[in-house]
Homo-oligomer: A and B are copies of this chain.
Amino acid sequence: MSPSQTSVYALSFIVVVAAFLFAWYLYFWVKKHKTENERIREVADFIKSGANTFIRKEYKILAIFAGIAAIIILVLLPEPIWQTDNILSNVSMAVAYIFGTVLSAVAGKMGIVVATLSNSRAAEATKKGIKPAFMIGFRGGAVMGLAVVGFCLFGVAAVLLIFGDASILLGFSFGASSLALFAKAGGGIFTKTADVSADLTGKVELGIPEDDPRNPAVIADNVGDNVGDVAGMGADLFDSNVASMAAAIVIAQALDSNGSFINQAMVLVYAAIGLFASILGIATGRIGKHGSPSRALNSSTYVTTGIYLVLTAIATYLFDGFEWRIWGASVVGLLVGTIIGITTDYFTDDTKPIVRRVAAASKSGPAFTILSGISYGFISSFPSMIGIAISALAAYKLCDPLGEGYAMFGIAMSAVGMLSIVGMIISNDAYGPIVDNARGLAEMGGLGEDAIKIADELDSAGNTVKAVTKGFAISAAGLTVISLLGAYMSEVNATLKELGREIITGFDVMNPNVFFGILIGAAIPAVFSAMLMLGVDKNAQRMVAEIHRQFDEIDGLREGKPGVKPEYNKCIDIATSGALRELIPAGLMAIIVTIIVGFVGGVSAIGGYLLGNIISGLLIATFMSNSGGLWDNSKKYIEAGNEGGKGSDAHKAAVVGDTVGDPFKDTAGPSINTQITVVSLVASLLSALFASYSILG
């Protein structure tokens, strides 16, 4: 049988509603746990209000940005308002854009709400054992995961249903991405400013433990986990997910040009199955009384993957026009994503040799920590690049026999496949900052050693999972932007046909315009990440100075006199204002350079530019995420009593590595994903303008 449009949309919306209902249930399940410890409740309120203040201020700035962007879109896209005879398209595009930004913002805000609710409850539950504490962290994260993916499928299906035109979907996707770009950058700078400053002054200078309440930056650090790792990361994966679906649907619509809907149906059905599989995976998430939290997280992921594979196979079998080759491409994506996750784990897990080697190198001083970490980070990019290369090649070769255009559709579906389990991935990822916060709260609430040990175990599982999901997210973004390159080309050709000019069949690297674009595009991720890191660097220097001031001026703070409290808010303010100041320039730089290259070199230069951007973006993002992860874990490995343990010279060197790694892995590295997506979407949206007005093209 062949699925009707109505049934496909109905299926999508039913799954979305199921996801929301389930998230609702989990939210109230978490909420009904109470926090009784006075101190925990007080600190948790601090964190909540700090996070909300930052998000409110950030969204205010982003609303202005989005408003300006919407006006520009209204005037220029898809065609300049003075040329078009269909002004409604421009309105639709602007509306879709705003819709994208709003959904992305709401997803981020929901993450903050549930994370700041779960952290104190998970902390309190550590007193009762690992099982209840884990479940609160896990289900809190799941609310976020379900919400993000639910919004994504809802938004994509709604835009497609209402406007019917896949190009408008690019506007929606651009809305999601542009918000994610700045939310990720802002949150990333906030969280690492606080983290780095807290570590440097607390651990290194004073030798007090992490999360010690005397440290003025400790609350800011916990706020940062929420605004950076929950809200920022949620916006990031929302963006990747939307972009992968948008790219697939743009290509599918070109293939469905005979009025059919089958390829678009396939994208929606697969995505709906992915969300449904995540619901089941989350529902079955369990941990034994003394079970291992990382095993529990992984087994939910495997359940989700298995259900996805089986159900998509059934759908492909049932529905006429669902091609097995495309199913194969989506499976390849999922498998390669998993394999990349495993290799990432090899480079960043402290039970494996690499982390231990970096820990051993730290005995010779911080320079060796840095050198070995950078080197292994570089090497770790190799398997990821090979994995992405192979999955792109395999998807292409698998689907190429289906006809013209299907090869690129295969790559797009391979990205969709890789991202199908993203609901599960986000759940696991959001679990990390929740239990990280819970650990801090347990320490500050004085819950005792046993509780802290449990919190530590939960936290450590969060860290391992985080490294793996990051590898996964980067590769998914890689495949997505490859298909966005395909989407870009089909947009360009649509314009060229309209202009009566020859269409292009590709981007030849021997074409000097393409080559010019490649070189410039390749430099952008480096410059972009450098700007973010310098933001953290400058900001952290200000915060370190403030912490020093407090220790010098507040009597009894250093010694921990009872009743003496640091001025937590000052540190939160510094992190906030710094992050807001550094938020815009890097992202704007990437967008502006794209526009300049387009108007100078034309559509072929932009083709090259996107390619260069993708290649160097993948390389740098993998390098930074993995180096950061392995420094973090080699520090933890030393703190667990190896290579001299806490306080040794090796530990001091490892802390330097971790401090460098923090902005690598949590600010710059993961923002690059979003940067390449945004640039690809800008290129696709402006392709008609570049085709018409360019100096050399």
- Contact residues of A with B, CB < 8 Å? 196, 200, 204, 361, 364-368, 370-372, 374-379, 381-382, 385-386, 388-390, 392-393, 396-397, 407-408, 482, 485-486, 489, 505-516, 518-520, 522-523, 526-527, 529-531, 533-534, 536-537, 540-541, 544, 607-608, 611-612, 615-616, 618-619, 623, 656, 659-660, 663, 696
15 other contacts beyond A367-B660, A385-B520, A386-B523, with CB at 8 A cut-off? A364-B544, A366-B656, A372-B534, A374-B530, A375-B530, A376-B534, A377-B530, A389-B516, A389-B520, A392-B519, A393-B513, A506-B508, A522-B618, A612-B615, A615-B615
Complexed CA–CA distance, A516 and B508 (Å): 15
Q: How far is the CB of A377 from chain B (nearest CB, A)?
A: 8
Distance (Å) between the CB of A535 and the closest chain B CB?
9
A385-B523, A392-B515 known; A611 vs B371 contact (CB < 8 Å)? no
- Known: A370-B660, A611-B518. Is A378-B510 also a contact (CB below 8 A)? no
Cα separation A639 to B94 with both chains bound (whole Å): 57
7 contacts between A and B (CB under 8 A): A200-B365, A366-B366, A371-B663, A382-B527, A385-B522, A509-B611, A615-B616
- Tell me whether A519 and B378 are in contact in the complex, defined as CB-CB below 8 angstroms, given that A371-B536, A371-B660 are known contacts: no
The CA-CA distance from A618 to B505 in the complex, in Å, is 28
Interface of A is mostly: helix
**Closest residue of B by beta carbon distance from A364:** B541
Q: List chain B residues, Cβ under 8 A from A489.
A: 510
With both beta carbons as reference points, the residue of chain B lying nearest to A379 in the complex is identified as B530
CA distance A676 to B511 in the complex (A): 20
Smallest CB gap from A386: residue in B: B520
Question: Nearest B residue to A361 by beta-carbon distance?
Answer: B537
Q: Which of B372, B530, B537 sits near A378, CB closer than 8 Å?
A: B530
Name the contact of A526 in the complex, choosing from B370, B612, B623 (C-beta under 8 A): B623
Closest to A536 in B: B371
Query: Shortest CB–CB separation between residue A16 and chain B, in angstroms?
Result: 34
Q: Nearest CB to that of A478 among chain B residues?
A: B519
Complex interface: chain B residues within 8 A of A361 (CB): 537, 541
Query: In chain B, what residue has the closest Cβ to A507?
Result: B509
Return the 3 tightest CB-CB contacts between A and B, nearest first: A506-B508, A367-B659, A378-B530
How near does chain B come to A651, taking the closest CB pair, in angstroms?
14
Q: Which of A367, A507, A659 has the most CB of B within 10 A?
A: A367
Residue pair A200, B375 in contact (C-beta under 8 Å): no
Contact B526 A379 (CB under 8 A): yes
Q: Which residues of B contact A374 (CB under 8 A)?
A: 530, 533, 660
Q: When chains A and B are docked, how far (Å) is the Cα of A696 from the Cα of B393?
A: 10
Residue of B nearest to A523 (CB): B385
Which residues of B have CB within 8 Å of A544?
364
CB atoms of B371 and A533 under 8 A apart: yes
Contacting residues, chain B, for A509 (C-beta < 8 A)? 485, 506-509, 514, 607-608, 611
- A541 lies within 8 A of B368 (CB): yes
Q: Is the CB of B519 within 8 A of A385?
A: yes
A512 and B392 form a contact (CB under 8 A): yes
- CB contacts (< 8 Å) of A506 on chain B: these are 508-511
* CB neighbours of A379 from chain B (8 A): 526-527, 530-531
A375-B608 contact given A506-B511, A520-B386, CB 8 Å threshold: no
What distance in Å separates the Cβ of A595 from its nearest Cβ neighbour in chain B? 16
In the assembled complex, which residues on chain B have CB atoms less than 8 Å from the CB atom of A200?
Answer: 364-365, 367
The one of B204, B486, B512, B522 that contacts A615, using a Cβ cutoff of 8 Å: B522
Bound: A522/B385 CA distance, A: 8
Query: Which residue of the partner chain, among B366, B375, B523, B618, contacts A382 with CB atoms under 8 Å?
Result: B523
Query: For A482, A523, A531, which residue has the most chain B Cβ atoms within 10 angstroms?
Result: A523
Q: Given the complex of chains A and B, what is the CA–CA distance between A660 and B509 in angstroms?
A: 35
Rounded to whole Å, the gap between the CB of A374 and the closest CB of chain B is 7
Per the bound structure, the CA–CA distance linking A453 and B407 in Å amounts to 68
- CA–CA, A520 to B378, complex, Å? 13
Chain B residue at minimum C-beta to C-beta distance from A610 = B509
Residues of B within 8 A of A619 (CB): 522-523, 526, 616
The complex places the Cα of A618 from the Cα of B540 at a distance, in Å, of 31
A196's partner among B367, B381, B513, B607 (CB-CB below 8 A) is: B367
Residue of A204, A526, A529, A536 contacting most chain B CB atoms (<10 Å): A526
Residues of B within 8 A of A663 (CB): 371
Residues of B within 8 Å of A371, CB to CB, are 533-534, 536-537, 659-660, 663
Instruction: Kindly list chain B residues whose C-beta atoms are within 8 Å of the C-beta of A486.
Output: 510
Distance between Cα atoms of A615 and B620 in the complex (Å): 13
CA distance A372 to B534 in the complex (A): 6
**Shortest Cβ distance from A510 into B: residue:** B506
